[in-house]
Structure 1
Amino acid sequence: MLNKLSLLRNKIDLLDIKLLEILSKRLELVKKIGLIKNQYGLPIYVPEREKYIIDLKKKEAKKKGISPNFIEDIFHRVIKESYYYEKIKKFKKIKPDFTEILIISHDKKISYLFKNMLTITGYNIKYIKEKNLNINNINYLFKNIGMLILDISKNFFEKFIKKLFLLPKNCILIDLSPIKEISIKKILKIYKGPVLGLYYFFDYQKNFLFKESIIYCDGRKKKYYYWFLKQIEIWGLKIEYMSVIEHDQYVFFIESLKYFFTLIYSTFLIKKKISFNKVLTLFKPISYLNIFILKNFFLENPQLYINLITDSKNNIENIKKHLDYINNLSFVIDKKKKIKIINIFNKIKNLLIFNK
């Protein structure tokens, strides 16, 4: 029996070596594809191509009696690794002769990621923290810049926008603040050049951005910054357009409301004297993400979250509406109106199925 087992294992080992050789050859081909994409400025991530590959392999797997889900998992991992091999040291630079890009930031988060991506692509970047700036002596910074990327605090923003008239004509101003209704409107009143609003929905600690999404809001003169959106696509980001009003509505649901309820949940834990350590012990591994959100929330600068919750004029009104919904739901649960609760579940279920 042991000899048969050993023989079968040896055969598996040989197949594993062949599998590694095939993967190595595949990745070498991927590198060549990366060079071609870079030469012609093509994006790394092409969702249609990825879906086609996985659907095709799942059909082939089914014919061979292999679980399609198993093959889907494998090829998702293979394709993800392929993107890393496609990425070379530099991305194609759409504007080879573009002048200096100035980034002013209040911390090293999303703006620092932009700095890294632009540097890798070959642009000339000047990165400055807002705390190191003398607001009364910034004229020299604006000389000969072609783009200004702002990721600044609320207080600094109010002082800084008064200096925007000093910017060179047609300098592209990019606003990274989360609430566009406030920032974009104020910028447009003072600065008459091209303005673009960007907001990210991804982990800013990543150093590779394929399959991530970024929202853009048109401020003014799109023809001047359209190339920059194409540059972002080359990095592997998916670009989505939203109006300023629509953007702020979605940011409310994605960010503001989430942080508001995180604050409520955490306050309730403290009031009830619940041990965070015991919560962690009892959490299933898949639920660690919730604890990660909690830790991130309270280890960050609280002013950032306060601004996200309170800055938009519609946020407070919307939060009150949601508290009304909670009270109504609490009443339904208290009265044990199970049919109503099931109907709510079914509505949400149908919505999720429809949006699959």
Structure 2
Amino acid sequence: MPELPNELDGLSESIEVIDKQIVELLAQRAELTTKVGEYKSKSGSPIYVAEAEASIITSRKSEAKRQGVSPVLIEDLMRRIMRESYHTKSTEFLCTNPDIKKIVVVGGAGALGRIFVDLFKRSGYQVEVLEEGDWAQSESIFEGAGLVLVAVPIKLTEIIISRLTQLPRTCILADVTSTKQKPLTAMMKAHQGPVVGLHPMFGPDVPSLVKQVVVVCHGRETEQYEWLLQQIRNWGGILQQCDAKEHDDAMVFIQVMRHFCSFVFGSHLAGENPDLQQLISLSSPIYRLELGMVGRLFAQAPALYADIIFDNKDSVAMLTEFSVKFNQALALVENSDKEKFIQQFTKVSAWFGDYAKQSLVDSKQFLLKADDDRTLSEER
């Protein structure tokens, strides 16, 4: 079949033309979504609306089915395209409270503080930053402030808050620490005006606040800082409200245990010293993801994770109980008690309920992405 190579070349050229058209269409779409984002931001409309996104995806999946294209592929593609459209750095946001004359971010030169400084400035507020060397001028810096946001390391938060006793009465005092009971108590003691505790559930590497969770723990005079919560919504953030104790109790499971387990796993790997590249190359997507999450921890500041683990008052008790469960599970393996293992497995599965089944579905997308990212350099 001598004509086959020429036919294949022709097909490849046609695919290349279509690929270029796809890129051109994506560029046109990005230009339009940028304009939509700018309009929404300036008008105060939310950047992200869950119902609208779901409607778009449902519609495109239906079209895909009619065209004989995989709806799963189209959903994956549309979610990726829309995620990219949310992350434009040029967007300016509507200022929800023009009466605020000044916002002071204590620790605004830090990684997390810089995010809020940037967002407030892009929303039209006058922003000043107070760092360690600026306390001699703190009186003039705080003068006229409508909001003081504390964004310093956990170990410094209460110390810094204790120095904020001369803020204007109507000034809002807020923090963005990953623990909430102690900072909120300290703020209520130091300041007689509006107080609110915030916990951004993201790191300093996020491209935007779209779909990012911010936990809100109310303190005092909630009506006075409603504009701040609306401002976060305008940035695309999702607010989850709970009291400070509920927050700290949840963080033991969400942060402390997860980070501690990753730390121990990483420490064990380093101690055993296996060939890391071989582990990566031999791993299926799910194990590469798990290994990647452990590796991610050790690419970040150790002091941050030390503070998260050590500062929560319930850390020792919960981690001790976890070690008991670990040893009990280990005993099943030592005793070759597969039947008891299966019984416990079934019991835990029942506790997770439908979430386990949904997780199985949701994780497929993560695994496909991990598989796509496998490079030729990993082949050995």
* TM bucket normalised to smaller: 0.7 to 0.9
Bigger mean CA deviation after superposition, 21-30 or 54-63: 21-30
Provide the residue aligned with 2:139 in structure 1: 139
Name the CA distance, whole Å, in 2 between partners of 1:107 and 1:88: 20
Provide the residue aligned with 2:71 in structure 1: 68
- TM-score, normalised via structure 1 length: 0.86
Name the CA distance, whole Å, in 1 between partners of 2:120 and 2:11: 52
2:212–2:236 CA contact under 8 A, matched in 1:
yes
Alignment of 1:58-137 (within 5 A): 58-84=61-87, 88-105=90-107, 108-130=110-132, 132-134=133-135
What is the Cα deviation at residue 339 of structure 1? 2.6
SS at match of 1:205: coil
When residues 291 and 41 of structure 1 are mapped into structure 2, their CA distance, relative to the original with a 3 A threshold, is same
Provide the residue aligned with 2:177 in structure 1: 177
Provide the residue aligned with 1:264 in structure 2: 264
Name the CA distance, whole Å, in 2 between partners of 1:111 and 1:102: 10
What is the Cα deviation at residue 53 of structure 1? 1.3
SS at match of 1:92: coil
Name the CA distance, whole Å, in 1 between partners of 2:280 and 2:134: 42
Query: Paired residues, what number?
Result: 353
When residues 27 and 296 of structure 1 are mapped into structure 2, their CA distance, relative to the original with a 3 A threshold, is closer
Bigger mean CA deviation after superposition, 153-162 or 101-110: 153-162
Bigger mean CA deviation after superposition, 108-117 or 50-59: 50-59
- Match for residue 50 of structure 1 among 48, 53, 60: 53
2:104–2:129 CA contact under 8 A, matched in 1:
yes
When residues 317 and 271 of structure 1 are mapped into structure 2, their CA distance, relative to the original with a 3 A threshold, is same
How much is the aligned-residue C-alpha RMSD, in angstroms?
Answer: 2.9
The letter for the 2-side match of 1:83 is Y
1:175–1:196 CA contact under 8 A, matched in 2:
yes
1:34–1:88 CA contact under 8 A, matched in 2:
no
Name the CA distance, whole Å, in 2 between partners of 1:33 and 1:270: 49
Provide the residue aligned with 2:230 in structure 1: 230
Determine if the alignment matches structure 1 residue 322 to structure 2 residue 325.
no
SS at match of 2:165: helix
Name the CA distance, whole Å, in 1 between partners of 2:149 and 2:169: 16
1:182–1:312 CA contact under 8 A, matched in 2:
no
Name the CA distance, whole Å, in 1 between partners of 2:273 and 2:20: 55
Provide the residue aligned with 1:149 in structure 2: 149
SS at match of 1:123: coil
Alignment of 1:240-279 (within 5 A): 240-274=240-274
Name the CA distance, whole Å, in 1 between partners of 2:163 and 2:148: 12
The letter for the 2-side match of 1:34 is G
Name the CA distance, whole Å, in 2 between partners of 1:19 and 1:137: 55
What is the Cα deviation at residue 282 of structure 1? 5.3
What is the Cα deviation at residue 26 of structure 1? 3.6
When residues 340 and 142 of structure 1 are mapped into structure 2, their CA distance, relative to the original with a 3 A threshold, is same
When residues 84 and 259 of structure 1 are mapped into structure 2, their CA distance, relative to the original with a 3 A threshold, is closer
- TM-score, normalised via structure 2 length: 0.81
Name the CA distance, whole Å, in 2 between partners of 1:271 and 1:5: 52
Provide the residue aligned with 1:216 in structure 2: 216
1:148–1:171 CA contact under 8 A, matched in 2:
yes
2:105–2:127 CA contact under 8 A, matched in 1:
yes
What is the Cα deviation at residue 146 of structure 1? 0.8
SS at match of 2:197: strand
2:162–2:187 CA contact under 8 A, matched in 1:
no
When residues 329 and 296 of structure 1 are mapped into structure 2, their CA distance, relative to the original with a 3 A threshold, is same
What is the Cα deviation at residue 246 of structure 1? 1.5
Provide the residue aligned with 2:195 in structure 1: 195
1:149–1:176 CA contact under 8 A, matched in 2:
yes
SS at match of 1:236: coil
When residues 22 and 351 of structure 1 are mapped into structure 2, their CA distance, relative to the original with a 3 A threshold, is farther
Structure 2 gap ranges (5+): 359-380
When residues 289 and 195 of structure 1 are mapped into structure 2, their CA distance, relative to the original with a 3 A threshold, is farther
Alignment of 1:279-298 (within 5 A): 293-294=293-294, 297-298=297-298
Name the CA distance, whole Å, in 2 between partners of 1:248 and 1:166: 28
When residues 293 and 4 of structure 1 are mapped into structure 2, their CA distance, relative to the original with a 3 A threshold, is closer
1:89–1:120 CA contact under 8 A, matched in 2:
yes
What is the Cα deviation at residue 223 of structure 1? 0.8
SS at match of 1:166: coil
Name the CA distance, whole Å, in 1 between partners of 2:306 and 2:32: 49
Provide the residue aligned with 2:313 in structure 1: 313
